[in-house]
Amino acid sequence: MKNSAQAFGALPDGRATTLYTISNQAGMTVALSDYGARIVRLLAPDQRGALADVALGYDGIEPYIDNDECHGAVCGRVANRIAGGRFSLGGKQYQVPKNAGDVALHGGINGLHRRLWHAEPLPGGVHFSYYSEDGEEGFPGGLQLDVLYLLGEDNILSIHYEAVSDADTFVNLTNHTYFNLAGHGSGDIHDQLLQVFASFYTPVDAALLPTGEVRAVAGTPFDFRQAKPIGRDIDADCPQLRLGGGYDHNFVLDKPERDVLSLAARAVDPASGRAMEVWTTQPGMQLYTSNFLSDQPGKDGARYTKRAAYCLETQCFPDAMTHTHFPSPVLRANVPMSSRTEFRFR
Catalytic residues: 176, 313
CA 195-41-314 angle, to 5 degrees, is 40
Question: Number of helices and strands (H, E) in the chain?
Answer: 2, 29
- Beta bridge partners, 55, equal 179
Q: Using CA atoms, how far apart are residues 265 and 287, in angstroms rounded to an integer?
A: 10
b (16+ CB within 10 A) / e for 308-317: bbbbbbbbbb
For 249-309, the DSSP string reads: EEEEE--SSTT--EEEEEEE-TTT--EEEEEESSSEEEEE--TT--SEE-GGG-EE-TTS-
CA–CA dist 188, 28 (Å, integer): 23
Pairing of strands 262-268, 215-216: unpaired
Residue 274: cis peptide before it, omega within 30 degrees of 0: no
